[in-house]
Amino acid sequence: MDYSNNYSTTSYGAQGGAAGGGFMPGSQSDSPGAKRTYGKDTLRPVTIKQLVDAHHPHPDAEYFMIDNSEATQVTFVGQIRNISTQTTNVTYKLDDGTGIIEVKVWIDAEAFADPAHPGNERPKPVEQGYARCWGRLKAFNNKRHVGANVIRPIQDFNEIQYHLLEATAVHLHFTRGSPETLQQNSKGGAANGVGGQANGHAGGAGAAGYDGGNDGGSGVRPLPAGASRAARQVYATIKDSPQTHEGLHMQDIATRSGMDVGEVYKGGDELQSLGMIYTTVDDQTWAILDV
């Protein structure tokens, strides 16, 4: 995948206006006073925390910056905590473990009134189910929401992990550089006698911009020095257990480690805030975020 300004990605099975993406050069005026158009469009996978932390490049800007890069269309996955149906729109409250944000879908009155309309035959998102959203980040009265082009329920839960991994890859590209650039820099350092051991696994953690630390270059980051005992024990239990796509449930971690369930929950919450683990099939099932 190419994650430069011309980065492209999959359409994730979207139907409707959100299946596009990619950069179309020359379609936006460079004049400072020109009104912004959406000719320069990208479709970027993100987490909700990135949407909450996004900022305007200047006070009059109509668009947001994520990782110091312009973000127009975004896509993310989350669990639906609440659905509120109004006359003109449906508001979904989505939670992906990193934050919560509202997603608004405007109702097509004609389609809504016609039971035979093809859009009414598609599966509908439901509360507590998982969904993928495509849309644009907007702000109104100092409150952010996503104006969605498409929102659909997730049927294959592997999509949740795929999305988180892709969002991580794009984030690392914009903040650390491309894997190819990092690998070349690592090789250059080895030629000068610097970081010889790290370059032995440049295609693993080093290529993603991480230091393998004391982990021997397995691609699993070491915990920060200030991590609590509970966080370290939970992390070690997940890392040392046979790995599956789903990760380990909180109860399973408690049984394997001999910890109290409350301690496991606190340790897991701390690890999520540090970006070391992520939730998978539910809020109490965690897997290590490998690099």
Check which CATH number belongs to the domain holding 240 and give it.
1.10.10.10
Maximum mean pLDDT: which of 54-63, 68-77, 191-200, 207-216:
68-77
Residue 9 forms part of a structural domain:
no
Residue 10 forms part of a structural domain:
no
Chosen domain end from 131, 162, 193: 162
Domain identity same for 141 and 266: no
Residue 12 forms part of a structural domain:
no
Residue 1 forms part of a structural domain:
no
Residue indicated by tokens 């994730």: 12
Chosen domain end from 162, 186, 207: 162
Domain identity same for 228 and 274: yes
Q: How confident is the model at residue 32 (pLDDT cuts 50, 70, 90)?
A: very low
Alpha carbon distances (Å) from 83 to 116, 129, 230: 23, 11, 36
For residue 55, the 8-state DSSP code is B
Residue 2 forms part of a structural domain:
no
Query: Apex CA 112: angle with CA 110 and CA 117, to 5°?
Result: 80
Domain identity same for 228 and 283: yes
Instruction: Report CA 241 to chain centroid distance, whole Å.
Output: 25
Tokens of 205: 């953690």
Domain identity same for 207 and 149: no
Question: How many distinct structural domains can be found in the chain?
Answer: 2
Among 111, 92, 112, 110, CA closest to 101: 92
In terms of phi and psi (left: phi > 0; alpha: psi -120 to 50; beta: otherwise), the region of 105 is beta
Residue 141 forms part of a structural domain:
yes
Q: How far apart are CA 221 and CA 19, in angstroms?
A: 35
SS3 at position 102: strand
Residue 208 forms part of a structural domain:
yes
Domain identity same for 54 and 99: yes
pLDDT at 180: 74
Q: How far apart are CA 38 and CA 135, in angstroms?
A: 13
Helices 261-273 & 229-240 angle (0-180, nearest 10): 90
C-alpha Rg value of the chain to the nearest Å: 21
Domain identity same for 139 and 23: yes
Domain identity same for 31 and 140: yes
Domain identity same for 154 and 182: no
Residue 121 forms part of a structural domain:
yes
SS3 at position 43: strand
Domain that holds residue 237: 163-288
Domain identity same for 193 and 247: yes
Domain identity same for 157 and 211: no
Q: How confident is the model at residue 122 (pLDDT cuts 50, 70, 90)?
A: confident
Question: Could you tell me the CATH number of the domain that includes residue 32?
Answer: 2.40.50.140
Chosen domain end from 122, 146, 162: 162
Q: For 177-210, write each residue's pLDDT tens digit.
A: 877 776 776 666 555 554 444 444 333 333 333 3
Q: For 89-119, write each residue's pLDDT tens digit.
A: 999 999 999 999 999 998 876 665 566 656 5
Domain identity same for 180 and 131: no
Alpha carbon distances (Å) from 16 to 9, 61, 87, 123, 194: 16, 27, 22, 14, 51
Residue 27 in this model has a pLDDT that exceeds 70:
no
Domain identity same for 118 and 173: no
SS3 at position 211: coil
127 CB contacts (<8 Å, ≥6 apart)? Answer: 80, 81, 82, 83
